[in-house]
Amino acid sequence: MRIFLIHVRDPQFYALPAATRAANGNVRVMGFPPIGIMSLSSVVKRAGHECVMFDQANPATPNDVILEEVRRQRPDLIGLSFLSTTSYPYAKILARQIRAADDKVKLAFGGVFATLNAMLVKAQCPEIDFVCRGDGEQLILDLIERMEDPSSILGLTWMKDGKPVNNPNRVLERDLDQWPFPDRESLKLDFIESMPLDVPAVLSMDRFTTMQTSRGCPWPCSFCDIPIFNEGKWRSRSAEHVVAEFKELQAQGYGAVYFVDDHFLLKPKRIEAICEGINREKVTIEWGCEGRVDSVAQHLFPAMAKAHCRTIMFGVESGSQKVLDRLNKEQTLAEIESAVTNAKNAGIEIVHGFFVVGTPDETEEDIRSTFDFAARLRLDTFAFNRLCVYRGTPLWQEYVKRGLVNDATDWYKYFKCSEIDPTCLKGDVINRERTAGFRRLFRYKLRHYPVQTARLLRRFMRFMKLRDIVYLIVKPFLGAKSGPTKNEVISRAVEHGALKDSAAELTRVADDLLAEVASQSRAERRRIEEEARRSQGA
């Protein structure tokens, strides 16, 4: 069978199609490769099928070119993969265009947003045949095999006799080592590493890719949908499998890798074995990862640095304990300080903090504390985003109960909390505090951490034009435009027919489902701790 896999992007999140080409002739762009479809492509090919990938980050393959290829190659199945609420409208548009070009091809959606809103998406997109929920590896194989009668395919949402049907979930697969490494080489596009910001912040011009060594995170943060997507579980690949992938990447000429794991820093023995393997195999790739500040693996930061870990990103969120507690973050300010200090003392070159502002019950004083806290921390880089609420999170559920969002009519919309929640500060107050906070933070950094700041600027200057560096620094002071952003306008403009209400009834996130995820998360943490204790005793 011939399969097309398309990674649909939100145009705001890929910038800089570089005017340059890589040594292998590929166009180079700044951003993260589409590891979701790359993972599926290798599985599909191993099963003997033909697979062609497209990534909308590639300026050479806009929708028109993809449509032309659909007409020319007549694939049997097209999978559209997208991450979030913000890219859903673009996926819908492309699906419609493909259906107009070919009324026979089977069309499938997959990814986090599609998973968490499957019935609603199916009802709103009649041109789509299937919505694929959760892990896609086995699911796509089953789909290829039983496309004409999908009634027994676990994790599939489809239409039977004019009614959306949700086949049962599949049991989460714990053996991730069974899948081949992602098929990176078939996509004729190269990536360079940048910070996950909406302004160019290039970290290196080395050939860059991402890797996934674990899936999920068993914590209960109220704004996050990772726990529900992974049913409160955390699953990991073995250290040997990860090291083998590193070796392959080194042979393919990659110089930098970022782990898209939700929480890499969970299982010390595994991290230690990965670091030992990297050194043993003489892999020199620089890598980065994300994790919680209360990680029990912090004694391994020096070993990670020795194994070329260059970047660690922490979900700091706030400098106010009250706000952290309101977000159910289950972390303290002291834990944040010691994690950042430990990482810097260990020699990690770039330690990044993700912060949010505009959270429920946050005061101006809290925002000030957040910026002053960020200034004092030995962070190299930071991002301060306005908190958004997504369907599937405990915060969304709270907003449904408080009558701030409507599960039936708002599920596909992109909302900053401050726009809908009266307990949040108003947007203009947040922006004013954010601008003032940045000013204090930059001043503090220059005065107290001049060497660290100079080192970071020197890294940027190696790869970026002076004009871009100046923009990176002054952007926080330019002020935000008032009114909704382009993303918000587009995400709210997706039309929805009468079908949506009946589908909404079927998909309402039940309180007991969230409670079940929370209890699974707690059980998962106990399981991991127990495993760690056992392996220490062994």
Interface positions with ligand B12 (CB under 6 A): 9-10, 13, 32, 34-36, 39-40, 79, 81, 83-87, 108, 110-113, 116, 132, 135-137, 139-140, 196, 212, 224-226, 260, 262, 388, 390
Supply the minimum distance, in Å, between the C-beta of residue 155 and ligand B12.
9
Q: What is the DSSP letter of 308?
A: T
Cβ proximity of 324 and 334 under 8 Å? no
Give the nearer residue to ligand SF4 in terms of CB position, either 226 or 307. Answer: 226
Taking the least distance from each CB to ligand SF4, the nearer of 92 and 263 is: 263
Which residue in the block uniquely carries the two structure tokens 């992007």? 9
- For 476-524, the DSSP string reads GGS-PPSS--HHHHHHHH----THHHHHHHHHPPPHHHHHHHHHHHHHH
Residue 36 or 353: the one with the smaller Cβ distance to ligand B12 is 36
Report the partner that residue 227 touches, choosing among ligand SF4, ligand B12, none (CB closer than 5 to 8 A by kind): ligand SF4
DSSP one-letter string for 136-193: -HHHHHHHHHSTT-GGG-TTEEEEETTEEEEPPPPPPP--GGGSPPP--TTS-EEEEE
DSSP secondary structure code for residue 404 in this structure: S
Which residues are at the interface with ligand SF4 (CB under 6 A)?
217, 219, 221, 224, 226-227, 262-263, 292, 315
Shortest spacing between CB 111 and ligand B12, in angstroms: 4
Strands 156-160 and 163-166: antiparallel
Report CA-CA distances (Å) from 532 to 229, 271, 330, 490. 25, 12, 21, 47
Nearer to ligand SF4, 90 or 219 (CB): 219
Q: Would you call 16 exposed, middle or buried from its count of C-beta atoms within 10 A (0-12, 13-18, 19+)?
A: middle
Residue 177 Cβ vs ligand SF4, minimum distance, rounded to whole Å: 23
CA dist list (Å): 339 to 278, 306, 314, 379, 484: 23, 18, 9, 10, 36
Contact of 232 with 520, CB cutoff 8 Å: yes
Nearer to ligand SF4, 217 or 514 (CB): 217
Q: Residue 315 touches which of ligand B12, ligand SF4, none (CB < 5 to 8 A by kind)?
A: ligand SF4
At 359, list the tokens: 């959270």
Which tokens go with 486? Answer: 């382009």
Q: Which does 83 bind (CB under 5 to 8 A by kind): ligand SF4, ligand B12, none?
A: ligand B12
The listed partner (ligand SF4, ligand B12, none) that binds 292, CB under 5 to 8 Å by sort, is: ligand SF4
Residue nearest to ligand B12 (CB): 110
**In the complex, minimum distance from the CB of residue 331 to ligand SF4, in angstroms, rounded to a whole number:** 8
> Hey, what amino acid is at 187?
L
217 binds, among ligand B12, ligand SF4, none (CB under 5 to 8 A by kind): ligand SF4
- Between residues 118 and 274, which has the closer beta carbon with respect to ligand B12? 118
Question: Minimum Å distance from CB 6 to ligand B12?
Answer: 9
Q: Report the nearest approach of ligand SF4 to the CB of residue 487 (Å).
A: 21
DSSP class of 259 = E
By beta-carbon proximity to ligand B12, the closer residue of 102 and 372 is 102
Helix (H) or strand (E) holding 291: strand 286-291
With respect to ligand B12, which residue has the nearer C-beta, 307 or 387?
387
Residue 260, contacted partner among ligand B12, ligand SF4, none, CB below 5-8 A by kind? ligand B12
